[in-house]
Structure 1
């Protein structure tokens, strides 16, 4: 297995730090991190976590994707995903061009099941299926909405198109095409306004807050989530299950933002609000506005926020009480195992970390293959060992290391 010394995020951080004429100490101070953290990350002995990369990217004035080395072109070529980026980019440009004379849209009743199936694939991180079907649906719905007068059918068509833009965001974002993901989010906002659905607008803002958090802008991320909560309050039935599910998901997103800001009191406050909403709903709702909210999500984020706060022992203990139902979105389950792999790595528990990585691969293979933290965690495990175990070597080869 070939693992060049400069083939990881920490080495790229070191390169940009030197280009900016900063010492490790200076970078650490400006990023509000410890020098030992910067030193370990640069040497590849500790995973470059999303919070660390975001903080460093802000200081170095470079995009997070550049430090992560995204997109992972070789792996995308192997999975034939690279062929899907240009058609998606072209489809996103159609939004204001009016009807396409070469497209005869089907009825909305025929299109909506395809949109739901596409959203299900996105939640299952089946990127290949998403990339193949998404451009065609975007073209069809863009033409359909251009031909419709104001009214209920136009609003339903706008909602369907908005969800396709949401899928476009998920597809582009997970593969490292963050500019394309930003464009998809803008299109989602445009159509969600036409759908006149405040919950859809709130979901869009939750994704916008995630992109702000990726850049390390915790303050703006939390402001965006506050705005999303106000939109939920504008819904005709703010106490309905859909509105509660979206609201609870927003509280969980705010808890993660607070955890990255190392604000444990704020984390506790948001988690308690999410817990109250889950109790009010009384059950898991895995596919309401694709928000996947309930007691299971609250337990998951209890673990995730503890990992982010560095409370690793508490996170592992909390994880023992977490069991995912069969219908839980694979995107969420896969993310949980990625988080646990990071925690075990930081605790020096290499075998447990490797098992968690293998579980992430089993549950949501394409998510794991293209997730920067998976690569960082594998790299840290390899560099800490004199001789990598066979299973770890296999994982490293699979993600392209």
Structure 2
């Protein structure tokens, strides 16, 4: 058995700290986290939150993935088929300012349909199928940009490419290819700018905050989202797509603020999102061309997520009781909600509820659940806390490659 699969972020933090000849107190001070929390994480008696991992990685000047162990399932009997598509995706992304050789693109309408299919796969969390589809579509759409006449036709091709790049960003980030997802953030900004659509520009800004969240650069992320809000053309009577994008930006800003520990700012942004949601009606919308889902259900799950980011498991569970997960909410968001709840229940000592939430997340979006660092952290803690054998937990651990 590959022992690295069973190692938690705490063990990796301890190894990295010792390699730099730092004491726990020195690392805690440099990371601006409490010494007692760091000790518990290293000892394995407390899970490592994304905020803590980001702070420690920054202090140690290493990548977050060195502490999370991503990408997962790169070899052995748990090899994930997704990984075989990543080299092709890397090659497809080398084409942007120069046209791919020997590619004759299909008509624009067919490429748009391909991008819509990719967006559907992204929303459902089907990482392997999405990674298989994207390389050819990205290459073909890039070729279409270089053959299209200047003006609206070329801008339309750039808009299609923006949607594809956003899907590529999602799958690479969620599966731990952070270097690739960061590159895609830059490409997404470039394509959105060339599309001359400021709402797509806001989408690109939202994507860019992903790497800022992971790096712990919360204030920069908030500034970027403030600028994106200001750049959206509201006018006297803004359309629904503009209002939905504005709402989605507020939800993202709430996550940045919560992870930074600023509860007041997080609740301000959540309040703005609630007001926009009420204005738009009682049904969530998948975002259409602009991708980001927004509505009452998504706002509700972000309220729960903010409580988790702020370290308040009881409040997260309380808020979750008021959330109604509807079929309009994309599977990736619903899945993330139950992963967040699994952590909240873990903190309150409700082991069975925590495992139930992970099981629900797996039923909704199995690939996303399997690749999420929180899943592994929670499973590792549940194994530690269960003094008797638990068949369901053993199966979950085996499924993610963490043999109990």
Separation in 1, partners of 2:328, 2:21? 51
Q: CA deviation at 1:29?
A: 2.2
Separation in 1, partners of 2:234, 2:80? 41
Q: CA deviation at 1:67?
A: 0.7
**What do you get for the CA RMSD once the two structures are aligned?**
1.8
**Distance of aligned partners of 1:120 and 1:140 in 2 relative to their CA distance in 1, 3 Å threshold:** same
- Within 5 Å, which residues of 2 pair with 1:95-174? 95-100=96-101, 102-174=102-174
Q: CA deviation at 1:79?
A: 2.9
Q: CA deviation at 1:35?
A: 1.6
Out of 81-90 and 274-283, give the one that drifted further.
Answer: 274-283
Q: Does 1:367 align with 2:368?
A: yes
Separation in 2, partners of 1:5, 1:24? 24
Separation in 2, partners of 1:83, 1:307? 34
Q: Which runs of 5+ in 2 are unaligned?
A: none
Partner of 1:263: 262
**Distance of aligned partners of 1:347 and 1:84 in 2 relative to their CA distance in 1, 3 Å threshold:** same
- Kindly indicate whether the alpha-carbon contact (under 8 Å) linking 1:237 and 1:243 is maintained by their aligned counterparts in 2: no
Aligned length: 399
Out of 383-392 and 207-216, give the one that drifted further.
Answer: 383-392
Q: CA deviation at 1:47?
A: 1.6
Q: Does 1:308 align with 2:314?
A: no
What is the CA deviation profile of residues 133-189 of structure 1, one whole-angstrom value per residue up to 9, with x for unaligned ones? 100001111111101111211111110011111111111111111111111111111
Separation in 2, partners of 1:383, 1:246? 42
SS in 2 for 1:354: helix
- Kindly indicate whether the alpha-carbon contact (under 8 Å) linking 1:99 and 1:147 is maintained by their aligned counterparts in 2: no
Q: CA deviation at 1:215?
A: 0.7
- Within 5 Å, which residues of 2 pair with 1:190-201? 190-201=190-201
Partner of 2:345: 344
- Kindly indicate whether the alpha-carbon contact (under 8 Å) linking 2:6 and 2:380 is maintained by their aligned counterparts in 1: no
SS in 2 for 1:207: helix
- Kindly indicate whether the alpha-carbon contact (under 8 Å) linking 2:229 and 2:249 is maintained by their aligned counterparts in 1: yes
Partner of 1:215: 215
- Kindly indicate whether the alpha-carbon contact (under 8 Å) linking 1:212 and 1:218 is maintained by their aligned counterparts in 2: yes
- Kindly indicate whether the alpha-carbon contact (under 8 Å) linking 1:74 and 1:400 is maintained by their aligned counterparts in 2: no
**Distance of aligned partners of 1:99 and 1:307 in 2 relative to their CA distance in 1, 3 Å threshold:** closer
- Kindly indicate whether the alpha-carbon contact (under 8 Å) linking 2:325 and 2:334 is maintained by their aligned counterparts in 1: yes
Q: CA deviation at 1:387?
A: 3.3
- Kindly indicate whether the alpha-carbon contact (under 8 Å) linking 2:201 and 2:228 is maintained by their aligned counterparts in 1: yes
- Kindly indicate whether the alpha-carbon contact (under 8 Å) linking 2:41 and 2:48 is maintained by their aligned counterparts in 1: yes
TM-score with structure 1 setting the length: 0.95
- Kindly indicate whether the alpha-carbon contact (under 8 Å) linking 1:45 and 1:381 is maintained by their aligned counterparts in 2: no
Q: Does 1:231 align with 2:228?
A: no
Q: Does 1:63 align with 2:63?
A: yes
Partner of 2:278: 279
Partner of 2:327: 326
Separation in 1, partners of 2:372, 2:86? 18
What is the CA deviation profile of residues 165-219 of structure 1, one whole-angstrom value per residue up to 9, with x for unaligned ones? 1111111111111111111111111111111011111111111112101111111
Give the number of the structure with larger relative contact order, counting CA–CA contacts within 8 Å between residues 6 or more apart: 1
SS in 1 for 2:70: coil
Q: CA deviation at 1:238?
A: 6.8
Q: CA deviation at 1:281?
A: 1.2
Separation in 2, partners of 1:173, 1:88? 13
Separation in 1, partners of 2:112, 2:209? 27
Separation in 1, partners of 2:262, 2:305? 14
Separation in 1, partners of 2:76, 2:133? 20
Q: CA deviation at 1:8?
A: 1.3
